[in-house]
């Protein structure tokens, strides 16, 4: 049971980083190194500038994929991810490093950082779509926000992005509307 929960945790962490990258890119604020380091990608801080630049270039088209998940069917998402899978040079292995338990690496240890990240993002998406479809991908419910989120909650109840102002503004507006209506 521990292995399954570890694998699911790894997928959740990777997808949260993928969504963060998509949101950063959409806002014109992409700092792939920082976003990935904060998202648990241990090689991010030591990755070469060239690898980070290649990754940033590759993310432009790849983040469009995750941005479409909230509005597309599972079948459409699976077809798009399958297209991406055909481009991946993967060599799966089970590894343990940096104090983590056994987990999957989709690329060999010699892979460039950008190849590793792209493989991780696409494979995590594939695993999530097979397990749950597109239901855990959403767009913020705040009226003036278009940011994406990945809902890793047990009951899939998430409605807002990571910006706490979105939930606060929405809840405040709802409260004021109820008070004005006498409810």
Q: What is the pLDDT of residues 22-45, one digit of tens each?
A: 999 999 999 999 999 998 888 899
Q: What tokens does 120 get?
A: 């991780």
Per the prediction, the chain carries an average pLDDT of: 87
Residue 172 confidence class, pLDDT cut points 50, 70, 90: low
Q: 2-180 in CATH: which number? A: 1.10.3300.10
Confidence (pLDDT) at 24: 94
**Every domain of the chain and the residues it spans:** 2-180
Whether 177 shows a pLDDT value over 70: the answer reads no
Give 46-64 pLDDT, tens digit per residue: 999 999 999 999 999 899 9
**pLDDT band at 114, cuts 50/70/90?**
very high
At 176 the pLDDT is 65
By mean pLDDT, which of 18-27, 64-73, 158-167 is the weakest? 158-167
Query: Does 3 score more than 90 pLDDT?
Result: no
- pTM score, two decimals? 0.85
């Amino acid at each position: 049971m521990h292995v399954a929960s570890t694998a699911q945790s790894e997928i959740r962490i990777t997808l949260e980083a993928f969504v963060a990258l998509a949101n950063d890119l959409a806002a014109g604020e992409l700092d792939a190194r920082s976003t990935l380091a904060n998202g648990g990608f241990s090689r991010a801080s030591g990755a070469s500038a060239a690898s980070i630049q290649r990754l940033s270039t590759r993310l432009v088209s790849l983040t469009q994929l995750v941005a479409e998940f909230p509005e597309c069917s599972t079948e459409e998402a699976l077809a798009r991810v399958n297209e991406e899978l055909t481009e991946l040079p993967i060599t799966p292995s089970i590894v343990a490093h940096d104090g983590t338990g056994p987990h999957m690496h989709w690329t060999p240890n010699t892979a460039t950082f950008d190849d590793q990240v792209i493989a991780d993002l696409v494979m995590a998406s594939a695993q999530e779509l097979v397990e749950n479809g597109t239901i855990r991908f959403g767009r913020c419910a705040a009226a003036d926000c278009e940011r994406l989120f990945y809902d890793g909650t047990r009951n899939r109840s998430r409605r807002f992005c990571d910006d706490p102002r979105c939930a606060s503004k929405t809840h405040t507006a709802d409260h004021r509307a109820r008070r004005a209506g006498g409810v």
